[in-house]
Amino acid sequence: MPMTEESFAAAAAADNVEDAARWLVLDHGQRLRTVRRYMQALHLGREAAERFPEADQFYKKNVVPAGAYVSPGLRRTIEQGIKAFPARSREGYAQDLFTMSRFAAGPQSPCGWAPFCCGIDNKMRGLIVGLCPMDVNDPRQDRMQFATLAEVLAYATDGPEDELDQLDD
């Protein structure tokens, strides 16, 4: 069960997770537009996504057929954590991502993506996860996408609509 906005804000503030506070200032409509613009950037290839097969075991193949993916920023952060502490592993971080996104998630955006905080490389990080359909005509490409909140928040805008607002429903 997701945390309320207030409890998520308090937890993020206690751990000094700046991006979580930036997410919470957006209203529901802004959150929806931001996530949809990020998904469209993934679809158009403007944002990269990398397979993270270590997390596949946590998702049912019939629900998330393409498996788990991470953004480049999150992948770099995970690699830095492993490099700094060799006893850590991608498998361990996969467990952390799944557990924290499932049991310590903040309020979901209207399209189902949920922010959460997770400790990586000895620091609490603002992250977000959601089911990402890559092709509306082929549900076999649906995947679970993890990203840093900073990467997704880069798509927040109050400007006029552009091609990133043209996600097929």
pLDDT at 167: 56
Mean pLDDT by 10 residues, the chain (169 residues): 76 81 87 88 86 93 87 94 93 94 75 86 89 74 90 86 68
Alpha carbon distance 72, 141 (integer Å): 19
pLDDT at 103: 79
Q: What integer pLDDT is reported at residue 109 of this predicted model?
A: 67
| Residue-level pLDDT at 169 | 46
Instruction: Provide the pLDDT for residue 79.
Output: 95
CA atoms within 13 A on the CB side of 5: 10
CA 158 to chain centre: 21
User: Could you tell me which of 154, 61, 146 has the C-alpha nearest to residue 101?
Assistant: 146
Gap between the Cα atoms of 26 and 54, Å rounded: 32
- By DSSP bridging, strand 114-120 and strand 50-51 are unpaired
Kindly report, residue by residue over 30-65, the tens digit of the pLDDT: 888 898 889 888 888 888 889 999 999 998 888 888
Give the C-alpha separation, 111 to 71, whole Å.
19
Quick one: pLDDT at residue 94? 96
pTM of model > 0.85: yes
- Rounded to 10 deg, the angle between the 90-103 and 72-84 helix axes is 120
